[in-house]
Structures are given as C-alpha cells and as structure tokens.
C-alpha cells in the first residue's frame, strides 16, 4: 500500500477529466446534428460514448468506486440500460480480479486492531480468505472459546482511497443531472457518500448487527450471526453455514424459491418495525438458507436507521395509487420530494408509469419473473416509450436513498428467484399506512 498517494493522484486525475470529456462529446454531437445526422442517433452515440468513459474510469478504480458503484444501483431505474451496462461489466471484472491480502498484511491488520497477542484470541485462524468484498475480506477462524467465527478484515488504506474516490465522484452529479433533469443530484450524492463512508467503520456495522441479532434472537424464521468482537477495521461474528441464495436462484425447487422469496421480503420489511433498522444491501450474496430452514442474513455495513419504522408516507402513497386516487398520489409524491415543484407531470401519466411496479401489492399472490422485471425496465428505459420521459422527471429524496435501493434491488432478487407468494399480506403486516 506504499504507493497509495500516487494511485490516489491517478484516480483524481481520471475523475477530474470526466466532465471535460463529456462536454467535448456534447459539442461533437451538436456539430453532427447541424451536419444533418438524426438527433436520436447522435444522442444515442454521445450517450454510449459517455457511458463508456464514465464507467471505464470508475471500473479502473479500487475500493471507493467499487463501493460507490454497488450503491449506485438505484440509478438503474432512471438511466438507460446502455448507460449502466458497461459499468456492470467493469465492476464484475474488477471484483473477480481483486487480489486477496497476503497473510503478512492480514496479520499486520490483526495486530494493529486486536493487539500484539492477537493469536491468543483464536484457537485457529485460516490465512486463506473465505470471501472477498470491495473494501475487505473474510477469514474463517476458531475463537478462543471454541466457536467457529467469521473474521472480516478491512484492506489497509481502504479508508483513504474510499474518501478520495467519493469526494471526486460527487463531481459526476452534473453529468447525471443532465441526463435526469427532474432529480436533485447534489444532495443525493452527498447522502450516498456519507452512507458509504459509514461502512468504513466496522464499529457501526457491529452496532447494527448487534441490534438485528437482539431483535431476532430465537426467531423461528431468521438467524443473524451474533457479534463476537468488533474494532474499526476488524469484525468477528459467529460463522453462518447455509445454502447461498445464489444456489437457490440457480437450482432451487419451486417450493424452495417461493419460501426463500417470502422470507426475504419478510425480513426486509420487518427489520424497521422490529429492530428500527433496514438491512440496505439486498444482494443475494448476503442471504442463505440454513440447514434448519431459516433465512440467514449477513453483512450489516449498509443499514438505514429507522427508529420509528418505515415512513408511513410510503404506505399512504401506495394505497392511494392502488385505489386510483391519482391526484392525491401526485400530491403525496410532491410533499415527500419525489416530484420537484418546478416539474410538471400529468397524474394519469404518472400512474401509468408506476402502476406496473405496484402489481405485486395489488393482488393476493404475485409471481415475480425475469420477464416481468425486464419488461418494467424496458418500459422506463426505452426512449420510444412514454414512461421514459416520466422517469426523467422524478426525484429521489436523500432520506429515501437506502429505502429505494432496497426496493429496486429486492425486486431484482425476487425476479431472479422466479418466486410466487402472498407478498401483499407482508405489506399489510409491516408497512405503515398501506392497510389504511
């Protein structure tokens, strides 16, 4: 990590060049339109080249940009697939290629965080990582009392790199704002930066995990690993065995997929009511079915603290929309900041845009499929469809950032599961305002 300052300068230079490159392409596009090329063709070409540069640069960055990119999934509902597609590919390759810390580096971090006699805390410690993440990796070990534990260790220098990346990435707000004119991007990126930086301090993650573990102690349907020990850069938790959600997605029976989907939704929506916390990383890698049939949940770095539960306004707006009260629905969205005062939207057009996403809440049982999800995103990402322009007029208030991330990401996971269950009943049970 000795060359961290040099790499930070390189990252800063790459990020700083992005607005200049985008401005140049916009000027080139204007010239081509004046030269007689169709406006749509030029716009598509400029957009694609912009995406290539933006996401190629982000894809070359470590830690911070990877973490930022994972959290940026909420933009996928507003941005065309061709804009986010290249970035997904870069992120996947970067994650796959991320080299693990050497045993020497791991031992150094453990010594700094747990003391010079850190080995006394373990009966055994496996130097080969069991899993990797954007800013750290996980090792399997045996705690001094004989418990199997997972030891999450942060990469040295990850904090400095993350802060440098995020401070520069917020400059992309102007770029995103030009694509989504209805969105107030600056405050949203500030909120995203603050929430992502929170993940650097594993003590905050330890506090959140401890809160979930206490709320779900002895639960018949869910299991949360107990916290064993936590410092700023090392987190020790009970080891959790189980079948990964990805395996159920790939090869689970219909019964298994239906149960996994229902428990997944129940955990996400019950967290704010039971623990005052929303698990805000809906990625399937954080979930597994334990041998006793419970849903095990990992990774509490991204958590929305909601001591009063989910906002009642969400349930109220959904209930109004499902009842066809389009004017009241729009008023509610304006009150919450989803539609800025200067933006004009016809209530019926907004309802047509939102109604398909509300289908799972409109019927007693709903079957999520990849085809359904593809249709929804095609509907709002295709410039030839009416929903495209409506989506560009919507804003995402910073206070709803993590809630929206869970909502969109959760729909994706449920569609991958190809599951069917009574999801409306879960909303009636856990979402304030939905049932009236």
**Residue pLDDT, tens place only, 300-331:** 999 999 999 999 999 999 999 999 899 999 99
Question: Quick one: pLDDT at residue 165?
Answer: 67
Strand residues in 126-261 grouped as ranges (E): 131-132, 136-143, 148-154, 222-223, 227-230, 234-238, 243-244
Q: What are phi and psi of 224, to 5 degrees?
A: -120, 125
Extract the runs of DSSP E, i.e. beta strands, from 319-436: 366-367, 420-421
Report pLDDT for 40.
Answer: 46
CA distances 317 to 53, 169, 320, Å, are: 38, 33, 5
Residue 276 gets the label, from left (phi > 0), alpha (psi -120 to 50) or beta, of: left
State the pLDDT confidence band at 22, using cuts at 50, 70 and 90.
very low
Which among 31, 30, 10, 28 has a CA at the least distance from the CA of 20? 28
What are the distances in angstroms from CA 78 to CA 72, 82, 125, 183, 330? 11, 12, 45, 10, 18
The pLDDT of residue 138 is above 80: yes
Asked if the model's pLDDT at residue 24 lies above 60, the reply is no
| Rounded Cα gap, residues 407 and 403, in angstroms | 6
Specify the higher pLDDT residue, 245 or 380: 245
Model confidence band, residue 377 (pLDDT cutoffs 50, 70, 90): confident
CA 61 from centroid of its chain's CA atoms:
18
Helix axes 158-169, 4-34, angle to 10 degrees: 20
Average pLDDT over residues 227-242: 96
Residue 251 has pLDDT above 50, yes or no: yes
Burial of 24 (0-12, 13-18, 19+ CB in 10 A): exposed
- Residues 24-34, mean pLDDT to the nearest whole number: 40
Pick from 343, 380, 190: nearest CA to 333: 343
User: What sign has the CA pseudo-torsion 430, 300, 98, 129?
Assistant: negative
> Mean pLDDT, the chain, as a whole number?
80
Delineate the domains of the chain, giving CATH numbers in brackets.
4-98+160-184 (no CATH), 103-157+200-223 (3.30.200), 185-198+242-436 (no CATH)
Burial (Cβ within 10 Å: 0-12, 13-18, ≥19) of residue 272: buried
pLDDT at 58 over 80: no
pLDDT single digits (tens) 172-225: 666 666 666 677 777 877 887 788 788 889 999 999 999 999 999 999 999 999
Confidence band of 400 (pLDDT split at 50, 70, 90): very high
Distance CA 421, CA 282 (A): 18
Whether the CB-CB separation of 138 and 129 falls below 8 Å is answered with yes
Element (H, E) at 210: helix 202-215
pLDDT at 100 over 60: yes
Q: CA 49, CA 52: separation in Å to the nearest integer?
A: 5
Q: What is the pLDDT of residues 265-296, one digit of tens each?
A: 999 999 999 999 999 988 888 999 999 999 99
Helices 63-71, 158-169: inter-axial angle, 10-degree rounding: 50
- 7/53: higher pLDDT: 53
Query: Which pLDDT does position 379 carry in this prediction?
Result: 82
Residue with the larger pLDDT of the pair 29 and 51 = 51
For residue 9, pLDDT beyond 80: no
Tens digits of per-residue pLDDT, 152-167? 999 888 777 777 767 6
Question: For 9-13, 121-125, 396-400, which range has the lowest pLDDT when averaged over its residues?
Answer: 9-13
pLDDT of residue 30: 39
pLDDT value of residue 392: 83
Alpha helices in 61-146 (DSSP H): 63-71, 81-97, 103-114
φ, ψ (nearest 5 deg) of residue 238: -55, 140
Is residue 6 over pLDDT 60?
A: no
* Residue whose C-alpha is closest to residue 400's, from 192, 211, 194: 192
Average pLDDT for residues 74-90, to the nearest whole number? 47
pLDDT band at 143 (very low <50, low <70, confident <90, very high): very high
Asked if 390 and 333 touch (Cβ cutoff 8 Å), the reply is: no
pLDDT given at position 67: 52
- 375 Cβ neighbours under 8 A, 6+ residues apart: 356
Residue 125 pLDDT level (bands cut at 50, 70, 90): very high
């Amino acid at each position: 990590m000795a060359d961290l300052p040099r790499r930070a300068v390189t990252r800063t230079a790459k990020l700083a060049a992005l607005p200049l490159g985008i401005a140049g392409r916009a000027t080139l596009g204007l010239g081509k339109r004046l030269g007689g090329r169709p406006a749509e063709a030029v716009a598509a070409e400029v957009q694609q080249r912009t995406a290539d540069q933006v996401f190629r640069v982000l894809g070359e960055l470590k830690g911070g940009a990877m973490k930022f990119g994972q959290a940026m999934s909420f933009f996928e509902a507003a941005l065309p697939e061709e804009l986010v597609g290249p970035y997904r590919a870069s992120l996947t390759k970067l994650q796959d290629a991320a080299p693990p810390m050497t045993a020497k580096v791991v031992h150094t971090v453990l010594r700094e965080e747990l003391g010079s006699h850190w080995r006394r805390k373990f009966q055994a410690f496996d130097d080969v990582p069991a899993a990797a993440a954007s800013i750290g990796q996980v090792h399997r070990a045996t705690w001094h009392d004989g418990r199997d534990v997972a030891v999450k260790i942060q990469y040295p220098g990850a904090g400095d790199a993350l802060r440098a990346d995020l401070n520069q990435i917020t400059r992309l707000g102007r770029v995103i704002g030009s694509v989504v004119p209805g969105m107030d991007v600056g405050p949203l990126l500030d909120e995203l930066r603050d929430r992502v930086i929170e993940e650097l301090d594993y003590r905050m993650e330890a506090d959140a995990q401890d809160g979930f573990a206490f709320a779900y102690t002895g639960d018949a349907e869910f299991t949360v690993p107990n916290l064993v020990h936590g410092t700023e850069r090392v987190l020790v938790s009970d080891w959790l065995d189980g079948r990964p959600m990805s395996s159920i997605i790939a090869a689970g029976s219909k019964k298994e997929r239906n149960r996994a989907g229902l428990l997944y939704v129940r955990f996400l929506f019950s967290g704010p009511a039971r623990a005052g916390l929303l698990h805000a990383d809906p990625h399937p890698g954080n979930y597994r079915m334990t041998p006793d049939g419970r849903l095990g949940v990992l990774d509490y770095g991204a958590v929305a603290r909601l001591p009063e539960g989910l906002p009642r306004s969400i349930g109220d707006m959904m209930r109004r929309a499902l009842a066809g009260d389009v004017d009241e629905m729009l008023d509610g969205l304006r009150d919450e900041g989803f539609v800025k005062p200067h933006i004009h939207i016809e209530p019926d057009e907004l309802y047509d845009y939102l109604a398909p996403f509300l289908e799972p809440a409109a019927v007693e049982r709903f079957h999520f499929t990849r085809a359904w999800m593809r249709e929804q995103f095609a509907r709002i990402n295709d410039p030839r469809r009416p929903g495209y322009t409506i989506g560009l007029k919507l804003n995402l208030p910073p206070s709803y950032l993590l809630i929206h991330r869970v909502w969109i990401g959760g729909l994706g996971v449920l569609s991958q599961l190809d599951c069917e269950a009574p999801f409306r009943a879960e909303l009636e049970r856990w979402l304030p305002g939905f049932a009236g």
